[in-house]
Chains A and B, each alone.
Chain A
């Protein structure tokens, strides 16, 4: 059996989370392989083989069409039993499309995997992130990994073998023309060591502005839960949770969030979580380390007052 991990030019933490899946399978006797897309400079897992797609001038970090074409080319050449990829906006699109083209099974959102009794068992959050479900996977299968939920594995030795270069001619995407690409300014949520979170309970724009001021004055990143994005109070890039960013700050202060499953699934790797909510029965208090029952706007104001002094 062979498991292949696709790596792109994202961070070392994400790579290490993916390595934990490879390690689990390698311990069970699987061969492992790496496919590198773009200029991946992180230490590599000591797999049996590594290949790099050479696609000069292509934006492999943002262009799902080209990534899909490149992944399909490599799949037809290498035919792994299990193709793993980190879950983000790009690969969550590529993974099922690749499955449709190759007739292999598809599974997304994997948070744990285990090879047992010649069967691959996997786990993921379901029902809005409130419970987990276990599945047995048919093979071959393409699967995305929720890197924020996997325990990172840091290899003690790294791959030092040859990296096979695979040329890739993307060609044109018939009927689809890129007109403009506007790079987003990094909001720093994923890397932030200190984080404030605005939940629905903070109220409207004035309260959000207060938290923005607090974040600026404490040099802390500000994220939010989904209702604030839906109401246009915060941009989509600030969303923390299963459909947004998975964060891992040392300290997070959560203002006025109920503690829904989708939001908390993006917070599981946080260090200390402090929650402020005026409802003592709010589920957030079952999932935080420090809690206070209070009006979160009054607390935000008190914090600003303290900073003034």
Chain B
């Protein structure tokens, strides 16, 4: 493996690590809600439902954004 390939591989690994770290942060709020509703069996309110939808909306926007489509 040449030096360029090694540097490229390191760069890719770093990029994936950054993505993974970001995803980990993204998931944390959902885990808080899951634990609230399972471990504590908390009563569900419309505010809770709205909160869940608001948390997920940015990711649905990313998924359904067609500006990158080819």
Tell whether A and B belong to one assembly. no
Which B residues are closer than 8 A to A by beta carbons? none
